[in-house]
Amino acid sequence: MDLRYFINSCAEANELKRITTEVDWNLEISHVSKLAEEKKGPALLFESVKGYDTPVFTGAFATTKRLAIMLGLPHDLTLCQSAQQWMKKTITSEGLIKAKEVKDGPVLENVLTGNKVDLNMFPVPKFFPLDGGRYIGTMVSVVLRDPETGEVNLGTYRMQMLDDKRCGVQILPGKRGERIMKKYAKMGKKMPAAAIIGCDPLIFMAGTLMHKGASDYDITGTVRGQQSEFLMAPLTGLPVPAGAEIVLEGEIDPNAFLPEGPFAEYTGYYSDELHKQIPKPVLEVQQILHRNNPILWATGQGRPVTDVHMLLAFTRTATLWSELEQMRIPGIQSVCVPPESAGRFWAVVSVKQAYAGHSRQIADAVIASNTGSYGIKGVITVDEDIMADDLQRVFWALSCRYDPMRGTELIKRGRSTVLDPALDPRSDKLTTSRILMDACIPYEWKEKPVEARFDEAMLAKVKSRWGEYGID
């Protein structure tokens, strides 16, 4: 699969709208996209961008249906159900389907070097009025190679177009990309890098699965059930998808940062002080590869829910669920890191209780997991009759089963993220407090509340006759 296959799949499922009206890259594309996402509308392909021939694609994952399309799953699955399928497929997979290197591919249809390298050739959007400039987006995979181990890393970063040949890259402290960059700094060398813009959307999820000895391309092919194809980018020798839309090849000087930002983050706020630019690593673009008639995949952020939040919610739900399964804690029915929590800050787990303290054990396990230990502010546990992504019923449980004194535990200190706008701006501590909220009916209660339930026979009859009632 490549981006074009995904776009065509969305069209076949009535999940794509082609916009033929002329639009401006300056704020208009982003504002149309954001409004469409908030209405749970279709993905958008802007075919007439003012001053450009290149179309812009937005809203890739903004609905659970498009998320399922991307994963090759039945389109009616919920976020929890899709994540469960992903979890089962990845943790029970017996063998990796190794990716195949090819010598040629559509991404090599155009190779631009020297004076032909000009980022202005693409309709890079400006998303919000206070952004520091035009952003290629946040769904950009930057390929790096560890100079000591030879291992390849595909990190997803935002990239700001600084001028016609340079992009600011937000490589955050502590992440693997920064650790690799520091190795090049110690060697006194620039770091080769290749930025992928537009490819199989599954590649962005592959990096969340830590399969030892496997590349992101191996993981993508394993989930797809067929080999992924990559080729070695001609300038940097880094592996890039053969069917990518655009690849920017060049180098990052680990000792030469330039001001970048601000940018409206996935939290709905600016992480950097307003109007303040922060020095960030810079990709010096030396060569551009692109397909004939390339499609620019653009992703903004802002307040939830956008396609980025759906992607974050899915990947964190799937990885958290996988980690809990590997802990072998019994009774877990479903797991969700809701997109409404910016796909990061809250987790909900549904549990079939088997002993006193069972739900608290699961909440503790969430915080102890790799996924839950970073950024999570709250964990809510609910009984087995509530799906973790059914927020309507989660709030019902918080209202009618949860007692704040009995069901609340506070943790004073946990790892947070630099992008959390709730952190004290006067402090450099990247820690947050956490709350565990047990919204389960206590297992040990002898007398439990009696719930108003349907008559099962009548419910089955009504469902069988639903079409006769004429209710849409």
Phi, psi of 338 (to 5 degrees): -65, 145
Joined together, the tokens standing for residue 99 give: 């990716």
**CA atoms in the 13 A half-sphere facing the CB of 455:** 4
Q: In what order do the strands lie in the sheet with 296-297?
A: 16-19, 43-46, 56-58, 296-297
d(CA 297, CA 57): 5
Q: How far is CA 199 from CA 171, 216, 319, in A?
A: 21, 13, 22
The pLDDT of residue 25: 96
Q: Can you tell me the distance from the alpha carbon of 198 to that of 57, in angstroms, rounded to the nearest whole number? A: 9
Residues 217/218/221/225 CA torsion (nearest 10 deg)? 180
Q: Distances from the Cα of 396 to the Cαs of 359, 383, 393, in angstroms?
A: 17, 11, 5
Alpha-carbon distances, residue 451 vs 101, 299, 331, 397, 448 (angstroms): 59, 44, 21, 12, 9
What's the DSSP call for residue 339?
G
pLDDT reported for residue 210: 55
| Burial of residue 392 (number of CB atoms within 10 Å: 0-12, 13-18, 19+) | exposed
Query: How far apart are the C-alpha atoms of 368 and 405, rounded to whole Å?
Result: 23
Say which DSSP state 290 is in: E
Query: What would the 3-class secondary structure string for 269-280 be?
Result: CECCCCCCCEEE
For residue 404 the two structure tokens come to 């704040």
**Rounded Cα gap, residues 98 and 82, in angstroms:** 24
Residues of the chain with pLDDT under 50: 274-275
